[in-house]
């Protein structure tokens, strides 16, 4: 057990008076490309990062769940009875872990009561899926403690169910899939309709590259506002075009769509259709040429999100534009939008200049200082002790 894991096990015993049965970790994610395509049955290409959430857990002999976190060591644990949980019945951060246990039972599995202590290194609100990391750490822990033997693909669906129905955020399947299916040195190419996934090599270090994350520190919530509105526009667009999901349209259908849809819905649809094509192109580029050639696809993706899908903001645009001017090969916002982080793909030697240019631009614009760091594709969720 490494020292962080040992500290968490000790904190668990201090808090609950017993030793944990085990510790399970699940990572956050960065999405290389494919934004808002997941709930349109489309394609995504995320990878698991090394920032992760760890849960220490022990089974109880009753149906109670007690959940606490290392962020609020002085707060009482949230206590719930598994037989009394219902959709939307839990508020605050405990809705994620309790939602997963509720979703497991909704999916036909019997879950024992348990004590849970959560610790996380995934920054909250940065668009790196701290919520999926939390859901998936609890999902893999509960899967083992309940001896349920659930596949990773189904665990992702259970995490999504928790987020949709307990938290109330109408999000897709991408984040949980990245957290559960990721592997070091690879991105996960996922077909969100069939659930089929394939690992695509993403050797940034070997190519002399870094993927920088620029956290704008503009916070966002997918339970309210813009995210849900975009999802509704996509559903309307699909209905008006007579298809089950926007996945069923291709770039050559856009001319017809322009005649059928109102101007705004058309732009929303055009983003999804072109973004799906960019994901497929990105997989092709990575396979045949390597990550250094991804730049133009990232840039086109950002323009589409800024102009057609309208989910960027001044801070994200400044991060992307400045990174490109300072020598990044490509850059785009990542995640649901309206804040959170941008990514910039850069040669290792250009990283310091890009960092300082972005910091200077943020300060000149009067924005909060961004938090900038680099990420590599890491392993998916696993038991660590």
Residue 124 CA, chain-centre distance (Å), reads 11
The residue from 53, 137, 143, 171 that contacts ligand GLA (CB under 6 A) is 171
104 neighbors 155 (Cβ within 8 angstroms):
no
In angstroms, the first-to-last Cα distance of the chain is: 6
For the four alpha carbons of 255, 261, 266 and 268, in that order, the dihedral sign comes to negative
- What DSSP letter does each residue of 190-211 carry, written as one string? EETTT--EEEEE--TGGGTEEE
How far apart are alpha carbons 223 and 270 in whole angstroms? 24
3-class secondary structure, 43: strand
> Least distance in Å: CB of 187 to ligand GLA?
14
Helices (H) and strands (E) in the chain, counts: 11, 13
Q: Which stretch binds ligand GLA (CB under 6 A): 94-102, 170-178, 263-271, 349-357?
A: 170-178
Closest CB to ligand GLA among 125 and 327?
Answer: 125
Q: Is 147 exposed, middle or buried (0-12, 13-18, 19+ CB in 10 A)?
A: exposed
Query: In Å, what is the CA distance from 10 to each residue of 7, 16, 19, 78, 121?
Result: 5, 10, 8, 19, 18
By CB under 6 A, residue 27 contacts ligand GLA: no
Cα distance between residue 186 and residue 204, in whole Å: 10
Is position 217 an interface residue for ligand GLA (rule: CB under 6 A)? no
317 in catalytic set: no
By beta-carbon proximity to ligand GLA, the closer residue of 97 and 335 is: 335
335 contributes a contact to ligand GLA by CB under 6 A: yes
* Candidate list 41, 175, 215, 350, residue with the active-site label: 175
Please, what is the minimum distance in Å from the beta carbon of residue 71 to ligand GLA? 21
Q: Which is nearer to ligand GLA, 174 or 249 (CB)?
A: 174
User: Does 336 help bind ligand GLA (rule: CB under 6 A)?
Assistant: yes
Stretch that binds ligand GLA, among 34-42, 63-71, 253-261, 277-285 (CB under 6 A): 34-42
| Candidate segments 35-43, 62-70, 89-97, 239-247, binder of ligand GLA by CB under 6 A | 35-43
Pairing of strands 186-191, 78-81: unpaired
Residue positions counted in the chain: 385
Among 22, 99, 113, 172, binds ligand GLA (CB under 6 A): 172
36 in contact with ligand GLA (CB under 6 A): yes
Q: Which stretch binds ligand GLA (CB under 6 A): 138-146, 171-179, 212-220, 291-299?
A: 171-179
CB of 275 to ligand GLA, least distance (A): 9
Map residues 92-131 to x or -, x wherever contact with ligand GLA holds by CB under 6 A.
Answer: -------------------------------------x--
Angle at 49 between CA 160 and CA 371, to 5 degrees: 105
Residues that bind ligand GLA (CB under 6 A): 35-36, 38-39, 129, 171-172, 174-175, 222, 335-336
Residues serving a catalytic function are 175
């Amino acid at each position: 057990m490494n020292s962080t894991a040992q500290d968490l096990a000790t904190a668990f015993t201090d808090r609950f008076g017993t030793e944990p049965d085990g510790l399970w970790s699940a990572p956050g994610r960065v999405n290389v490309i494919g934004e808002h395509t997941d709930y349109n049955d489309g394609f995504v290409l995320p990878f698991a990062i090394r920032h992760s959430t760890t849960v220490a857990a022990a089974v109880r002999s009753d149906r109670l769940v007690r959940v606490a976190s290392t962020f609020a060591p002085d707060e009482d644990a949230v206590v719930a009875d598994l037989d009394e949980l219902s959709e939307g019945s839990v508020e605050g951060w405990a809705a994620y872990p309790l939602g997963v246990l509720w979703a497991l039972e909704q999916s036909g599995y019997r879950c024992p009561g348990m004590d849970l202590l959560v610790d996380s290194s995934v920054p909250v609100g940065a668009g790196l899926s701290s919520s999926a990391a939390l859901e998936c750490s609890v999902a893999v822990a509960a899967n083992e403690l309940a001896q349920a033997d659930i596949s990773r693909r189904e665990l992702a669906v259970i995490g999504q169910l928790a987020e949709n129905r307990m938290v109330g955020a109408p999000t897709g399947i991408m984040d949980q899939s990245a957290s559960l299916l990721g592997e070091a040195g690879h991105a996960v190419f996922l077909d969100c309709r069939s659930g089929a996934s394939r690992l695509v090599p993403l050797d940034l270090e070997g190519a002399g590259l870094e993927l920088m994350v620029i956290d704008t520190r503009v916070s966002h919530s997918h339970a309210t506002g813009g995210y849900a509105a975009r999802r509704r526009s996509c559903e309307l667009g699909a209905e008006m075009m007579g298809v089950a999901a926007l996945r069923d349209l291709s770039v050559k259908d856009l001319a017809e769509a322009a005649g059928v849809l109102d101007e705004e819905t058309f732009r929303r649809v055009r983003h999804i259709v072109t973004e799906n094509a960019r994901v497929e192109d990105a997989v092709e580029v990575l396979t045949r040429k390597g990550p250094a050639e991804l730049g133009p696809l990232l840039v086109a993706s950002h323009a589409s999100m800024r102009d057609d899908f309208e989910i960027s903001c001044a801070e994200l645009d400044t991060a992307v534009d400045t990174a490109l001017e300072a020598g990044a090969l490509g850059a785009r916002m990542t995640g649901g939008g309206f804040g959170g982080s941008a990514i910039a793909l850069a040669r290792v030697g250009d990283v310091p200049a890009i960092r300082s240019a972005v910091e200077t631009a943020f300060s000149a614009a009067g924005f909060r200082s961004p938090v900038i760091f680099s990420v590599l594709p890491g392993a998916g969720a696993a038991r660590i002790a």
